[in-house]
């Protein structure tokens, strides 16, 4: 069994029931400060839109605030949904971030809209869609190239900035593209575990060495909730279950407090649907989750885990990350 794996954190700036957007943003910044203290490698936030329970839609703005409030942890996007934007705009935004916080900014790119189709139409007035993703990535990469006298449109800031680009995905499309471009790949195992192994295999089989990577580098996002006892961890996880249940019922909302018995809320069919999406979650004591993550890393040959911890109680969320960091020896 593997003895170590890099641990990072994914956060969506969840808006908790009874609180507002400003609270969610402050809580996200505070969490980044905490996990930096605990020794985690990077902290990513993700672009979503038209969702009352998620406050990370202006992703680059939030990344700047988090980077400014921390000292050394890498901060980035998990991800920017590139077809929603002009590549020049993203080059300038992340060029600015990297100029302010050199060597600490990551740019993870996705091809989904991060929302419903009506909102996607409002975002994509210029007609881009997921099919344009490969060309958009190449255009963005070109803006980051060193100074050129031949380019008529250049990114200031952005040009010459060495910003790591990741491709994100929940299927084989981005996995293959990442492999062919020689870029690191991050898989969304926190909501699409059933497609994970095929996508990781596609990435490795299609990988071509590049100036960025000599060999494949993969990261898997997983839900991880840790407590002193397995029973407490399951209770804390009920907020995550309720979040996905609300989406299944087409009633997305704010993050709800934990409940003692989630079976009082969902039907057996709803439970099955939720668990199909959350089948890759790691919920339990620190020792149990530690061992399961290491076995999982060996099975998938992944290099890094990005932990998504949906817990309503802030202090319990800090404790979850602290206990696991302690188990992995990050605090020492």
Strand positions, DSSP E, 95-159: 105-110
- What's the mean pLDDT when you consider all of the chain? 94
Confidence of residue 92 (pLDDT cuts 50, 70, 90): very high
- Would you say residue 151 has pLDDT above 80? no
pLDDT of residue 111: 92
Report yes or no on whether pTM surpasses 0.75: yes
Mean pLDDT of 190-205: 94
For residue 145, what are its two tokens? Answer: 């190239």
Give the percent of the chain with pLDDT over 70.
95
pLDDT of residue 122: 73
pLDDT of residue 114: 61
Distance CA(17)–CA(6), nearest Å, equals 32
| Distances, alpha carbon 43 to alpha carbons 64, 66, 90, 113, 153, in Å | 12, 9, 19, 21, 32
Confidence of residue 254 (pLDDT cuts 50, 70, 90): very high
Confidence of residue 11 (pLDDT cuts 50, 70, 90): very high
Confidence of residue 280 (pLDDT cuts 50, 70, 90): confident
Residues with Cβ within 8 Å of 241's Cβ and at least 6 positions away in sequence, in order, are 262, 266, 274, 278
CB 106 within 8 A of CB 161: no
Distance CA(120)–CA(142), nearest Å, equals 26
pLDDT of residue 112: 82
pLDDT of residue 117: 73
For residue 246, what are its two tokens? Answer: 């609300």
- Would you say residue 2 has pLDDT above 70? no
Confidence of residue 260 (pLDDT cuts 50, 70, 90): very high
For residue 71, what are its two tokens? Answer: 């000292």
Q: How close are the terminal C-alpha atoms of the chain, in Å? A: 22
User: 34-46 burial, b for 16+ CB within 10 Å, e for fewer?
Assistant: bbbbbbbbbbbbb
- Phi/psi of residue 88, each to 5°? -60, -40
Confidence of residue 150 (pLDDT cuts 50, 70, 90): low
Mean pLDDT of 76-88: 94
CB 192 within 8 A of CB 279: no
CB 156 within 8 A of CB 111: no
- Phi/psi of residue 147, each to 5°? -50, 135
- Would you say residue 130 has pLDDT above 90? no
Mean pLDDT of 123-141: 84
Mean pLDDT of 52-62: 96
Mean pLDDT of 244-254: 93
């Amino acid at each position: 069994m593997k003895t170590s794996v890099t641990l990072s954190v994914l956060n969506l700036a969840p808006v908790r029931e009874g609180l507002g957007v400003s609270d969610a943003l402050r809580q996200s910044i505070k969490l980044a400060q905490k996990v930096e203290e605990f020794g985690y490698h990077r902290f990513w936030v993700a672009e979503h839109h038209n969702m009352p329970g998620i406050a990370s839609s202006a992703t680059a703005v939030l990344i700047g605030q988090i980077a400014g409030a921390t000292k050394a942890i890498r901060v980035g996007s998990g991800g920017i949904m590139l077809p929603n934007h002009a590549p020049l705009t993203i080059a300038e935004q992340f060029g600015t971030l990297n100029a302010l916080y050199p060597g600490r900014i990551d740019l993870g790119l996705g091809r989904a809209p991060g929302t419903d189709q009506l909102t996607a139409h409002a975002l994509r007035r210029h007609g881009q869609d997921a099919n344009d993703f490969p060309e958009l990535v190449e255009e963005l990469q070109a803006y980051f190239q060193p100074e050129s006298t031949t380019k008529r449109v250049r990114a200031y800031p952005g040009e010459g900035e060495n910003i790591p680009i990741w491709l994100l995905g929940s299927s084989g499309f981005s996995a293959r593209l990442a492999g062919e471009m020689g870029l690191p790949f991050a898989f969304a195992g926190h909501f699409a575990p059933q497609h994970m192994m095929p996508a990781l295999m596609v990435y490795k089989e299609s990988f071509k060495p590049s100036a960025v990577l000599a060999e494949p580098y993969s990261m898997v996002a997983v839900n991880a909730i840790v407590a002193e006892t397995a029973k407490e961890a399951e209770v804390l996880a009920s907020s995550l279950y309720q979040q996905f249940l609300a989406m299944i019922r087409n009633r997305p909302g704010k993050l709800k407090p934990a409940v003692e018995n989630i079976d009082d809320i969902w039907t057996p069919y709803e439970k099955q649907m939720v668990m199909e999406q959350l089948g890759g979650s790691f919920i339990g004591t620190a020792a149990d989750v530690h061992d399961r993550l290491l076995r999982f890393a060996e099975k998938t040959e992944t290099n890094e885990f990005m932990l998504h911890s949906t817990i309503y109680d802030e202090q319990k969320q800090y404790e979850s990350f602290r206990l696991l960091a302690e188990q992995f020896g990050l605090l020492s």
